[in-house]
Chains A and B, each alone.
Chain A
């Protein structure tokens, strides 16, 4: 195996390195293309299968894709710049809007990095609540993938089923955090609120509903000849290429490379739960589909263990520097009111330094790098968005394939444009 294919720079590369101006020129005068048979085709940014606002510039010969270029930035709102204006407590409201299908992971990575800079450790129960919420979020994110992957490939029934199961998880999120998405639930110092009464029954219910439905997916998709023919052998990537292109998550694991931060560099309490890291063997779209489907089952396994092991105690650190006083104290004490007011207006100061923390999001390694200058807002916050980096594999996966397979490939890379563009 070799990564030679992805190292090419010139015209034989899979990446179309063409500026807008050059593309416009070709559009005005198609004779400038190297070959009469070739056309330049734009797919997106507004296309049902591009998961938001991804645009692909494709060099086509008939129905075959030669070179391609993902054009991104349509959703760029300068969230990293914005983070420099927001306090550490407000920061989570910002990062949670990046990967909107898995918002809790961004909050977690941001909180872990802030806590590393502060040098604080959150209570046991907060750790386990974070883990519970993240695994549920992984389930909902992969269920969303199941839905969109099905829809992109014509299994429209799957779209409805995926959304249906995801809704069950989102309903639980609403019960715990108050919102279905963009939770701002995991915060530096712990989580925003304790789990509500009866949460165990709700989780049991979700697990009981989801397990047989995943078996239905197997009947509907996994074993189906049409589904297999559509995905097997499409968009093949090998391990060396995935490593060279900085790909992480299911994309890397589909090539047969067992790397999962939860197991290999455990954060939270992942070293205390038992689960399997799933790998593929061919690195094609089918492997990526199967990995995500079975990762839902692994997440359910983890959630069941969390149900048994959930410790009691505080859900946030009782460090007066980062934790606002309890709501009832505000009515009783002037100091508590001032304290509350100070934390929510000025925020807490974070020691000078820089730190990077990474978590395994449903799409790969999600890392947050913060440089602090000792004030209450980050001097610089950078998010390593796995979607943004995984997107680079797309031209290589699409090269010499049919444009119809391109849709399967976009779907199987599973980019979330909010995280790509930030």
Chain B
């Protein structure tokens, strides 16, 4: 594959860089009150942070009966263009939720921008209790808090750990092993 092809493929994905802005607004498609986009053939919804829970509830009513995955991405060090559709304001964190409709076999990826200065978002526990461990993992690794989650605590790291390892400003490298019983933890 040549570099030219790469950039052509990129351009197709990132509508905001190639298509003129006035073309964007009328064709913008909404589903469950979220902006519809395409990512390499997968349906992606860009939901607002405030309407996230409503979007998910609407998707559940529409037949998306299982939450498959929930994770986050920290875009702090992302050098490439984000490729978000117009109307979506880029933020540092992005919550990525995958749903599946077992009847139609359709998959849905919901992406939500979560700002760094207020990393909170609604929990999906009342819709799919299976999100409990996944939301705890995102909290543990990224420090995004889920409002109304039944047990917002760390899951993989020790309870008294400081920092959120998957954040991009959390360096890899030598960190002394901590033992809970040690008297001089940091």
Chain A residues at the B interface, C-beta cutoff of 8 Å? 3, 6-7, 9, 13, 15, 17, 19-21, 72-73, 76, 78, 80-82, 85, 116-120, 243-248, 257, 259, 264-265, 319, 321, 349, 351-356, 358, 365, 367, 369, 371, 373-374, 379-380, 382, 384, 388-389, 391-392, 421-422
Contacts A/B (CB < 8 Å), 13 sampled: A76-B156, A85-B172, A244-B129, A244-B130, A264-B105, A265-B105, A351-B9, A354-B39, A356-B109, A369-B71, A380-B73, A391-B133, A392-B132
In chain B, positions 134-156 with a C-beta closer than 8 Å to chain A are 134, 137, 141, 150-151, 153-156
Are B96 and A369 touching (Cβ within 8 A)? yes
CB contacts (< 8 Å) of B126 on chain A: these are 7
Contact of B166 among A81, A118, A321 (CB under 8 A): A81
Are A81 and B133 touching (Cβ within 8 A)? no
In the assembled complex, B67 has its CB within 8 A of some CB on chain A:
yes
**How far is B150's CA from A7's CA once the two chains are assembled, in angstroms?**
10
**How far is B155's CA from A7's CA once the two chains are assembled, in angstroms?**
20
B28-36, B50-58, B74-82, B113-121 - the one binding chain A? B74-82
Taken residue by residue from 54 to 88, chain B's Cβ proximity to chain A (1 for < 8 Å, 0 otherwise) reads as: 00000000000111110101100111110100000
**How far is B22's CA from A398's CA once the two chains are assembled, in angstroms?**
58
With contact pairs A265-B105, A367-B98, A392-B133 given, residues A73 and B68 touching in the complex (Cβ less than 8 Å):
no
**How far is B69's CA from A356's CA once the two chains are assembled, in angstroms?**
10
CB distance from A14 to the nearest CB of B (A): 11
Are A119 and B1 touching (Cβ within 8 A)? yes
Q: Which A-B residue pairs are the 7 nearest by beta carbons?
A: A246-B130, A17-B151, A73-B156, A245-B130, A384-B69, A382-B71, A76-B156
CB contacts (< 8 Å) of A384 on chain B: these are 68-69, 71, 98
Are A119 and B9 touching (Cβ within 8 A)? yes
CB contacts (< 8 Å) of A80 on chain B: these are 141, 166
CB distance from B60 to the nearest CB of A (A): 10
- Which A residue sits closest to B166, measured CB to CB? A81
